[in-house]
Amino acid sequence: MQFEIKALRSGVGVCVLSIAAANESDAANLAKNQGYAVLSVKGSTGLPSFKKSSNWFPLVLFSQELLALLDAGLSLVEALEALAEKERHSEARKVFDAIVARLYEGQNLSAALQDFPAVFPPLFVATIRASEKTGGLSEALGRFVAYQSQLDFVRKKIVSASIYPVLLMAVGGLVVLFLMAYVVPKFSVIYEGSSASLPWLSQLLLQWGVLLKTHGQLVLLLVAGALAAAVYGLTRPSLREFLLLKLWDIPALGERMHVYQLARFYRTLAMLLKGGIPVVSALDMVSGLLQPALRGRLKLASLAIREGQTISRAMEVQELTTPVALRMLRVGERTGNMGEMMERIAAFYDEEMARWVEWFTKMFEPILMALIGLVIGVIVILMYMPVFDLAGSIQ
């Protein structure tokens, strides 16, 4: 479990550490062993343990550059000094200089990185700490870079697949807005003094035009207020969590979201296990990747594993796997290579997600175009229907 420790250290001052430990006592002892005077200890839960590094510090680029310099034969201190010299961002350079200073004081790299929780997330620090026990820092950096690259690839694939439908909805919405806000009021003026009886839907549409003509500013203010309220509501974590839970209730979409979370879960777990982190500690660290309902199941699975149950059985009981993944977990238990097998499970899930996203976009785009065309067509027909009636009566 992750613990946030408020501590004091000579030359550093008061700082906040994030330490993975079994309990508060162990976390406090780890901080004391690193030369800190512990002020307070509290457990951290949820996603903060996996928050991204600061925008001004590209963690993946740092890992790639450090890996390249280490592979070129530079020592760790020399590599960090080289990165500090070429860095133009003042805040990032200060971070490099502080890390180098701590290394000269005799600290290991993970302890130095842990002093900057806003820059280096606990997942990265834990990966580095595990590599220090085996001397495989380059391998650990390579695994972290591959892990982040794969996550970014899946995320970018989903985003790129959603760009065209979003643009289509935006353009369609603007066309509908133009018709309703400009064209319909013009037609309402033409038909306002007409004695001809209009179809009910045409009357409703033209009444909207009259309303917009007479109270346009008030309607505009109401629409703007509704949009502002919607944007503000979406920035509230409680509302976002509520909407996310509702999305999970949609059968097909909820199943895909479940698969996506399992893919991230198993990929992160695979990286930690390959780095030498015990499975129970790794499970505690990755709990923040799952939605709240699944976190409770993971906690029960972790407890069962502590009591001696196999990983595959614990995951099966708590519904944290699928039939295919379950068989792969059992193979991993027989061969003793759980890290590699979990990475293959994540790759299997990623391929499944990619196929579903491609299928969904191919099906959704023409349906969306048809719906937008239908809405625009109905508005135009309702506007011109009185003209068609008049032409029919003349004949």
pLDDT tens, residue by residue, 324-343: 888 999 998 888 888 889 88
As a whole number of angstroms, the distance between CA 60 and CA 142 comes to: 10
As a whole number of angstroms, the distance between CA 233 and CA 126 comes to: 36
Percent of the chain whose pLDDT exceeds 70: 85
What is the token pair recorded at 92? Answer: 């990032």
| Length of the chain (residues) | 395
Band of pLDDT at residue 52, cut at 50, 70 and 90: very low
Residue 152: what pLDDT?
80
Segment among 3-7, 326-330, 373-377 with least mean pLDDT: 3-7
**What are the start-end ranges of the E strands in the chain?**
2-9, 13-20, 37-43
Over range 301-314, report the average pLDDT: 90
Residue 11: what pLDDT?
57
Predicted confidence (pLDDT) at residue 103 exceeds the cutoff of 80? yes
User: How many Å is the Cα radius of gyration of the chain?
Assistant: 29
Residue 198: what pLDDT?
67
Residue 3 pairs in a beta bridge with 19, 43
As a whole number of angstroms, the distance between CA 322 and CA 92 comes to: 43
Q: What confidence tens digit (pLDDT) does each residue in 250-303 have?
A: 777 778 888 888 888 888 888 888 877 888 888 887 777 777 778 888 889 889
Segment among 1-5, 131-135, 243-247, 276-280 with least mean pLDDT: 1-5
Nearest 5°: phi and psi at 41? -135, 130
Which domains, from first to last, does the chain contain?
A: 2-44 (3.10.20), 59-147 (1.20.81.30), 154-248+372-394 (no CATH), 251-347 (1.20.81.30)
Residue 10: what pLDDT?
64
Predicted confidence (pLDDT) at residue 212 exceeds the cutoff of 80? no
As a whole number of angstroms, the distance between CA 296 and CA 301 comes to: 9
Segment among 62-71, 208-217, 266-275 with least mean pLDDT: 208-217
